Amino acid sequence: MLLSISFHFDYFPLLVVAAIAWGTPILLSLFKLKKIPSVIVEIILGYFIGKHLLGSVDHESFRILEFFALTGFIFLMFLSGLEIDVDMILASLPRTRITYGRFIKNPLLVSMTYFILSLILACTGSLLLAKFIPISHIWYFSLIMVTTSVGIVVPVLKDRGEIKSRFGQMIIMAAAVADIFSIVLFTFTAFIIKNGFQMELLYIVGLFIVFIVFYLIGNKLKNLPLLKKLAFQLSHAASQIRIRGTILLIMLFVVIAQFIGEEAVLLGAFLIGLVISSMLHRERSVMLLKLDGMGYGFFIPIFFIMVGVEFEPAALKEFDKSLIGVLALLMITLFAVKFFPALLWRQLFGIKKAMAGGFLMSSRLSLIIAASAIGLQMGVITPGINACFIIMAMITCFISPVLYNWLSPSDLLTGSKTFIVGGSSTAVLLARRLTMHGRKVIIIENNKTRAEEISAKGLYCITGDGLDAGLYKELKMNLSDFVIVETGSPEKNHEICKLLREELLHDNIITRSSTSDIELKLNKLGIKTIDVIGVLATTIENLILRPTTYHALLESFENFRVEEILITNKEVDGLQVKEIPFHKDAILIMVKRDNAFFIPHGETYFRTGDILHVFGTNTALQNTKEKMGGKK
């Protein structure tokens, strides 16, 4: 044999776990239960296989499953850190004197206040709960209750198209701050409970120093031409150098954390996620896709399935007949801890929106399960309370999004919208790209089967005829809304454009020109047309004359873009470019004033009504919009 590999390991337990991980999302899709988080089903199925299939598994095979589960937990903490936009946090750092008006609009300051209020309420709630259930460590119990789940918050906001709205950014920042502070406080608390106040506590501070060093070095090295060249050459096929480097960094931080103590592993995995998040820009989407595939495709489901396998309902017997009351009190407290601080958002978004945000922030998943398990291992959490927290995690991550959608129903028909008449592949691609920019898109397709296919892809598509004038009125089309006509038939495109222009008096209409005859008719109607042949020629021209710039803009679409930002903030009127602290990832390209365009410089004065053409990351553009008072 070339390799001395033993084939005596029992792969049956791993087969069962892999089957559940594969089958769970399929079952949820078939039974149209996509709103139920798959982890709930994984935990429940894990419990049943633990009782009926894995009961006779030998110790060695079970240890392998525990190893994979721990790796899944590490990956979960790493991906939690990776989901946090470090640039957004840094951009929110106050740079001027803080007034109440600036405070309430600053996502970072409000989020930190939100967390402190949640922690105070959690401590108060823990003291009250201690009268009914045995709580040996009030502070640790409070930290468990103050956790939240970025993994639930972000997908809900994405589905609603609110991820890039001001409200969405406020909630994401609050969830990110809660994650960061919870993990840091957990690590210090667990170390003190286990070892007491010792000099080794400074090792955890050393872990933060390592994080800062890696953050600074990483952001310097990523721009070195040699490393960028090597990363590009070795990023495909068998090399996958970026993925290998990421795994190396994860293991490095985990090993350093293990040297400090096993309670610091959670923090180490989370911190390296933050480091990688700060380093990924253009290749962020591809890297996230691959890392999500490794984590959520294999390791993470094993973690949640094993939570179910090791769940012991018998532990709930410690509450005897008071179990229902204990669960009810615990659930009320968990919701109250997040609900009342959310009233901070009342002034900006209204009472119903603030309440909805509070309920969404009440969702808890991985961190509450992990913290409770660590508390059980240290003896500060009883088996019964640990079982209660697992039940609460499943309940809150299901109920919270439902309450959020109920209090703040998604109304796609209000505000600015883009209509796409026709469900061609071009229309679907355009809808996806506009949705990624946070714009509301409604596709109108007359073929019912095709409309259902488009809806199944997560886009908003209705079955209807583009020549039905009443349909546009039902959909509350405004004069400012854009209508893209792309049915695939030049003649029908013309008919629809004519209806929109002459009967509905709509101006913002775009379609493609195919023949000179059709183009002439469209021009007479005042319709904006796209010359497909001209676009193709321009694309080829760019590939020949400026290939690097063209590919950079095309491939970095998800992370960099050019946006037009209208100046409506009166405080900016009369200021020079050099007087405004633009975000470090935003570049001011051009300014339009009235009908004139000019290249700005440091001495250029801004005027209300100017339109700025800005290139940058999503975070940088959002930050620039807030400063200029621009609207989406």
* 543 found inside a domain: no
Predicted confidence (pLDDT) at residue 40 exceeds the cutoff of 50: yes
Amino acid at 588: L
Q: What is the pLDDT of residue 283?
A: 45
How many angstroms separate the CA atoms of 62 and 310, rounded? 11
422-451 pLDDT per residue, tens: 988 888 888 887 876 667 889 999 988 888
Residue 260 shares a structural domain with residue 112? yes
Using pLDDT thresholds of 50, 70 and 90, give the confidence band for residue 2: very low
Residue 98 shares a structural domain with residue 205? yes
> How wide is the angle at C-alpha 112 spanned by C-alphas 109 and 145, nearest 5°?
160
Residue 475 shares a structural domain with residue 424? yes
- Average pLDDT estimate for 278-286: 58
Highest mean pLDDT, choosing among 5-19, 369-383, 616-630: 369-383
Q: Residue 622's domain is classified under what CATH number?
A: 3.30.70.1450
Domain that holds residue 471: 417-538
361-399 pLDDT per residue, tens: 999 887 888 888 888 888 899 999 999 999 999 899 889
Closest residue by Cα to residue 405 from 348, 453, 456, 352:
352
* 21 found inside a domain: yes
Share of the chain above pLDDT 90, in %: 18
- 8 A C-beta contact, residue 406 and residue 157: no
End residue of a domain, out of 407, 429, 446: 407
Predicted confidence (pLDDT) at residue 557 exceeds the cutoff of 60: no
Q: What is the pLDDT of residue 34?
A: 67
How many angstroms separate the CA atoms of 618 and 275, rounded? 19
Q: Residue 373's domain is classified under what CATH number?
A: 1.20.1530.20
Q: What is the mean pLDDT of the chain?
A: 83
Higher pLDDT, 344 or 236: 344
- 8 A C-beta contact, residue 77 and residue 266: yes
Residue 257 shares a structural domain with residue 142? yes
**Element containing residue 420 per DSSP (H, E):** strand 417-421
Which string of b and e fits 237-252 if b means at least 16 CB within 10 Å?
eeeeebeeebeebbee
| Least confident among 43-57, 284-298, 307-321, 512-526 | 284-298
Q: What is the pLDDT of residue 159?
A: 67
188-203 pLDDT per residue, tens: 898 888 888 888 788 8
Residue 179 shares a structural domain with residue 71? yes
Predicted confidence (pLDDT) at residue 5 exceeds the cutoff of 60: no
Q: Residue 520's domain is classified under what CATH number?
A: 3.40.50.720
Predicted confidence (pLDDT) at residue 125 exceeds the cutoff of 90: yes
Q: What is the pLDDT of residue 337?
A: 95
- Average pLDDT estimate for 510-524: 82
Closest residue by Cα to residue 497 from 422, 413, 412, 417:
422
Residue 67 shares a structural domain with residue 88? yes
Within 10 angstroms of residue 622's Cβ, the number of other Cβ atoms is 24
* 549 found inside a domain: no
**Element containing residue 485 per DSSP (H, E):** strand 482-485
Question: What phi, psi does 419 have (nearest 5°)?
Answer: -100, 135
Residue 519 shares a structural domain with residue 624? no
Using pLDDT thresholds of 50, 70 and 90, give the confidence band for residue 1: very low
Q: How many domains does the chain have?
A: 3
Residue 229 shares a structural domain with residue 151? yes
The one-character DSSP state at 616 is E
Q: At what angle do helices 166-195 and 150-160 cross, to 10 degrees?
A: 170
Q: What is the pLDDT of residue 233?
A: 55
Predicted confidence (pLDDT) at residue 410 exceeds the cutoff of 60: yes
Share of the chain above pLDDT 70, in %: 90
Residue 156 shares a structural domain with residue 274? yes
- 8 A C-beta contact, residue 228 and residue 281: no
166-178 pLDDT per residue, tens: 788 788 888 888 8
Residue 244 shares a structural domain with residue 181? yes
579-611 pLDDT per residue, tens: 888 877 788 888 988 888 888 888 888 888 899
452-500 pLDDT per residue, tens: 888 877 788 999 999 998 888 888 888 888 999 988 888 888 899 999 9
Dump the DSSP string for 193-207: HHH-S-TTHHHHHHH
308-363 pLDDT per residue, tens: 898 888 888 888 788 899 999 999 999 999 999 999 999 888 899 999 999 999 99
End residue of a domain, out of 407, 430, 453: 407
Predicted confidence (pLDDT) at residue 226 exceeds the cutoff of 70: no
* 545 found inside a domain: no
* 486 found inside a domain: yes
- Average pLDDT estimate for 249-255: 90
How many angstroms separate the CA atoms of 400 and 249, rounded? 34
Using pLDDT thresholds of 50, 70 and 90, give the confidence band for residue 632: very low
Predicted confidence (pLDDT) at residue 534 exceeds the cutoff of 50: yes
Residue 373 shares a structural domain with residue 513? no
